[in-house]
Amino acid sequence: MRAERNNPFSAAFGATFVALFLVVPGLLGYELHKSDWSIIRVTTSDGPVWWQIYLGLIFAIPAIYFWRKALRALP
């Protein structure tokens, strides 16, 4: 069974996942990289990884928009 293509909840969950996937490790000091033999390579740093946090916050903006749109579409 396949969900509707224009379902606002799928966009909301997707954008929220990407935002949290970037912000949480960034705050903990884990830097995510592309690896040659696996999907993700993780290295640690001494402090927060600011570029990752900023990118996650950028993804949080559409997540908020899609959540508002999805919750307004509820009956």
Task: For residue range 4-53, list pLDDT tens digits in order.
Answer: 667 789 999 999 999 999 999 999 998 887 766 667 777 888 899 999 99
Looking at residue 74, what is its pLDDT? Answer: 86
Beta bridge partners, 31, equal 43
- Structural contact between residues 21 and 8, judged by C-beta atoms closer than 8 angstroms: no
Three-state DSSP at 61 gives helix
Per-domain residue ranges of the chain = 9-72
CA distance 40 to 44: 13
Distance of CA 36 to the CA centre of its chain: 22
Q: Which tens digit of pLDDT belongs to each residue from 55-74?
A: 999 999 999 999 999 999 88
Strands (DSSP E) along 1-75, which ranges? 30-34, 40-44
Looking at residue 6, what is its pLDDT? Answer: 74
Looking at residue 2, what is its pLDDT? Answer: 60
Looking at residue 15, what is its pLDDT? Answer: 94
